[in-house]
């Protein structure tokens, strides 16, 4: 059995790690490289850095930061946020990112998945999928969950896989930020339809929530931010508790 992965997520604005709710009331929580090194030292399997800068200057700062991360952190890391072209992806992968995450731009232009996978390989492409339950089905949203589309979750995730995405990062916008757990049945259903790994995001409020999505939800990895940033638990302690629940993790 392949070990489940624990992946801290760091939001970055103009080179600094920030935290807030829906990108509002942002507070500086420290240097992105140092925080990443701390999580790596605690046993994180990978890291995700999301650029939330709104300016070209911020994007350039993020590129320089990615280069610094690659020089200082010894675990794989994914970068995302504002990647809308093959040139955007190339800029970040060429300075050392291990993977890139694409979301809204892929919904607008699905061929972007094909282009990046063809140039760099599927293992470099993470398709981030933000879904919301509407009536009896799950529909894709873009722009941080603010815009609803007519794309159906399972069809879009499968299309992403077939176009070359190496992983799916799924967030239920109904659960994101609630800290009330994940929709485990949704993740389990998706895992049955896909052959690529699924990363669960949004809703983690406790060790039990993460244990549930990795076991009954059949997710391959769990992404979390607040529980680590606020010092509620370390990555190492989380992994120890998961191991005690007979969930295979790298200790």
SS (H, E, C) the chain: CCCEEEEEEEEEECCEEEEEECCEEEEEEEEHHHHHHHHHHHCCCCEEEEECCCCHHHHHHHHHHHHHHHHHCCCCEEEECCCCCHHHHHHHHHCCCCEEEECHHHHHCCHHHHHHHHHHCHHHEEEEEEEEEECCEEEEEECCCCEEEEEEHHHHHHHHHHHCCCEEEEEECCCCCCCCCCCHHHHHHHHHHCCCCEEEECCCCCHHHHHHHHHCCCCCEEEECHHHHCCCCCHHHHHHHHHHCCCCECC
Out of 98, 130, 174, 220, the active site residue is 130
Give the C-alpha separation, 137 to 141, whole Å. 13
Give the other-Cβ count within 10 Å of 60's Cβ.
14
Residue 176 confidence (pLDDT) = 67
Residue 231 confidence (pLDDT) = 84
Can 212 be counted among the known catalytic residues? no
Residue 29 confidence (pLDDT) = 73
Give the C-alpha separation, 251 to 248, whole Å. 9
In sequence order, the β-bridge partners of residue 152 are 139
Q: Is 198 left (phi over 0), alpha (psi -120 to 50) or beta?
A: beta
Q: 125-159: string of b/e by CB count within 10 Å (b at 16+)? A: bbbbbbbbeeeeebbbbbeebeeeeebebbebbbe
Can 88 be counted among the known catalytic residues? no
Residue 177 confidence (pLDDT) = 62
- The values of phi and psi at residue 122, to 5°, are -60, -30
Q: pLDDT tens digits for the chain (251 residues)?
A: 799 999 999 989 888 888 765 545 667 777 899 999 999 999 999 999 999 886 777 788 899 999 999 999 999 999 998 899 999 999 999 999 999 999 999 999 999 999 999 999 999 999 999 999 898 899 998 877 788 889 999 999 999 999 999 999 998 887 666 676 788 999 999 999 999 999 999 878 889 999 999 999 999 999 988 888 888 899 999 999 999 999 999 99
Please state the domain extents for the chain: 5-244
Give domain 5-244's CATH superfamily. Answer: Aldolase class I (3.20.20.70)
């Amino acid at each position: 059995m392949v070990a489940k992965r624990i992946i801290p997520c760091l939001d970055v604005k103009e080179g600094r790690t920030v935290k807030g709710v829906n990108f509002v009331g942002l507070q500086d929580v420290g240097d992105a490289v140092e925080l990443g090194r701390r999580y790596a030292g605690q046993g994180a399997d990978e890291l995700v850095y999301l650029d939330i800068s709104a300016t070209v200057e911020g994007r350039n700062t993020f590129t320089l930061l990615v280069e610094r991360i690659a020089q200082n952190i010894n675990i794989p890391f994914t970068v995302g946020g504002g990647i809308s072209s093959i040139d955007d992806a190339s800029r970040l992968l060429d300075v050392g990112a291990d993977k890139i995450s694409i979301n809204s731009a892929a919904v607008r232009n699905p061929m972007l998945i094909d282009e990046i996978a063809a140039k760099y390989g599927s293992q470099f492409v993470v398709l981030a999928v933000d879904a919301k339950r509407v009536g009896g089905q799950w529909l894709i949203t873009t722009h941080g969950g603010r815009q609803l589309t007519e794309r159906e979750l399972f069809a879009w995730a499968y299309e992403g896989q077939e176009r070359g995405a190496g992983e799916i990062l799924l967030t239920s916008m109904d659960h994101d930020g609630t800290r009330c757990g994940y929709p485990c049945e949704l993740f389990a259903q998706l895992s049955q339809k896909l052959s690529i790994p699924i990363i669960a995001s949004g809703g983690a409020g406790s060790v039990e929530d993460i244990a549930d999505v990795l076991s009954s939800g059949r997710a391959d990895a769990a992404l979390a931010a607040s529980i680590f940033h606020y010092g509620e638990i370390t990555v190492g302690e989380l992994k120890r508790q998961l191991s005690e629940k007979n969930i295979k993790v790298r200790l």
